[in-house]
Structure 1
Amino acid sequence: MGLIVWTLVLCVLMYEPVTESCPSVCSCRRSASCDGTFVNCYDRGLTEVPTNIPIDTCSLWLNFNKITIIQTNAFNGLSNVQFIDLERNKITTIYDSAFASLHNLTYLYIHNNNITVLDRDIFLGLSKLETLTVENNPLHCGCISAEFVRFAKLRNLKLRLWSEPTCSTPSNLTGVLLRDLSSEDMDCDVTTATTTGTVIIF
């Protein structure tokens, strides 16, 4: 009997996710949809990506907060993460390498923010990315966006959750579907593209 009990204890210790850390305003528990910890920071009034996120996190909800900037290495060490929801924040700036180390990230929701420029280089290292929702952002369709559209098509990325992403500026492309754009359609004035709101910083 003693051997059986110790065997069960060892199994629990081996397969219990690492949850000794958790952002103070969030809740952490074993995920029912992926192998690891589910971190729920939904609608907690956050103004930045929190620290102390468990290293075995596989699903991270940061939606409905007040985050404006995604800093470099904001998710450092979270290589197990498969899903991040950043929808309905106030994001204007995404720094280069913001998503570095997220080698297993499959779903990234950044729709319903204040993003105007999408730079493919921010997402190049996300080799398992399948869905990158960008609708309902005030997107400027300049030459930086042209490169992003090419990248998304080559990777066969899904760019929507509910509705097709469209251009907000320049005025001659307002309302045009992002997926229908070609380089000939784009306003390739980079200065204009990077001063209309969001700047992707290197």
Structure 2
Amino acid sequence: MRECVLFYFLALCSAKPFILPPKYMAMTDLILNDMEDDNDDDDEKDDDDNNSLFPFKRNTPIRPTPPPFDIFPTCPFGCQCYLRVVQCSDLGLTAIPNKIPYDTRLLDLQNNKIKEVKEKDLQGLSSLYALFLNNNKVHKVHPKAFQSMKKLRRLYFSHNQLTEIPSNLPTSLAELRIHDNKVKKVQKGAFKGMESLHVLEMSANPLENDGIEPGAFDGLTVYHVRIAEAKLTSIPKGLPSSIYELHLDHNKISAVELEDLLRYQELKRLGLGHNKIKEVENGSLSNIPNIREIHLENNKLKKVPPGLQDLKYLQVIFLHSNNIAKVEVNDFCSTTPKLKKSLYSGISLFGNPVKYWEVQPATFRCTLGRNSIHLGNFRK
């Protein structure tokens, strides 16, 4: 019996102390221990060879002071933040949230109930590249709301309640969308200094021709302009001359006059569908010699617009759902074969009272093939 007790006593004296495994240690202690281990290793090296993540000088305390930045940055309550993207959509927000990370590049606030953009809502977000405020109830924007925005390129205000273009918008904008608001007036200088603005979307606003003040677009180099579903009765004459695409569909335009397109000689695509156009004045299309695509569907034209045969780059012309009763042999193709640089890939004439069996085959001699022509039957 004495031998068993002696053996047990010797085994107990030689046992090592019990240590908790790493998974039971606090995360903070693990980080501090790693930093301490790095610091101990650095004591054996020169200061120039210090490659630790958080280097400290020799003889530092066992628990050094934390680094001068936030390892876990804040994120607005309910939002999702990841890689400088803050996503706060569909949360029922009534105001722009606080504590947005200062280095945010994309801020998504669409599908909420935000009514106003206040002066300090976006303060400090100097790195912001895109701001989405679609589908809110914004009716007021403070004149200094975008004061710190130097890199903002995309601003979406579609589906809100704005009655005018917000003042003092960032001059760095490349894309501005104010679709489906209550804008009735575009004041002079509304886009002052926006030399980089390339896309302007203002459709579905109760905007009339008189609502566009002279000089409203001075200094702009816009390539894409869309003012569809408005109350325009004619093609605006004061838009930027640099336009490549102009979409004026679903308006009340009744005619295309000689001077309407004189300013837009760089135009590549023209959308005039779903209007009340009865006539395209002879010579008006010659002002857009680089045009590639024209939409004149769903109007009240009685004949093919004159001048199409002189447009050597025109490839697509939509004339369906009009009142065209006759198509001449030279309405689309020039009598000089070498004049046409690009063949037609699409000519639509369906929905017109034209007797397609009377159209001569030579009428479409400058098309890519029979699949490029859409005639169809006319039914009342």
Residue equivalent to 1:26: 79
Report how far residue 112 of structure 1 moved. 1.0
Letter in 2 for 1:147: G
Residue equivalent to 1:68: 115
Q: CA deviation digits over 1:62-114, x for unaligned, max 9?
A: 00000000001211011111111000001001111111211111111111111
TM-score by length of 1: 0.67
Question: Is residue 2:109 matched to residue 1:50?
Answer: no
Residue equivalent to 1:187: none
CA contact (8 A) 2:158 2:180 kept: yes
- Rounded Cα–Cα distance in structure 1 between residues aligned with 2:71 and 2:180: 36
- Rounded Cα–Cα distance in structure 1 between residues aligned with 2:207 and 2:162: 12
**Runs of 5+ in structure 2 lacking a partner?**
1-37, 42-49, 55-66, 212-229, 240-380
TM-score by length of 2: 0.37
Report how far residue 19 of structure 1 moved. 5.3
Question: Is residue 2:149 matched to residue 1:102?
Answer: yes
- Which structure is richer in relative contact order (CA contacts within 8 A, separation 6 or more)? 1
RMSD: 3.5
- Rounded Cα–Cα distance in structure 2 between residues aligned with 1:170 and 1:180: 9
Distance 1:117 1:51, change over 3 A: same
Stretches of 4+ aligned residues off by more than 2 angstroms: 6-10, 16-19, 150-157, 164-167, 169-177, 179-183
Q: How do residues 84-95 of structure 1 correspond to structure 2 at under 5 angstroms? A: 84-95=131-142
More strand by share: 1
CA contact (8 A) 2:176 2:199 kept: yes
Aligned length, in residue pairs = 164
Task: Give SS of 1:180's match.
Answer: coil
Match of 1:40 among 87, 98, 109: 87
- Percent identity among equivalent residues? 24
- Rounded Cα–Cα distance in structure 1 between residues aligned with 2:237 and 2:145: 26
Match of 2:168 among 118, 122, 128: 122
> Which structure has the greater CA radius of gyration?
2
Residue equivalent to 2:29: none
Match of 1:134 among 164, 178, 193: 178
More helix by share: 1
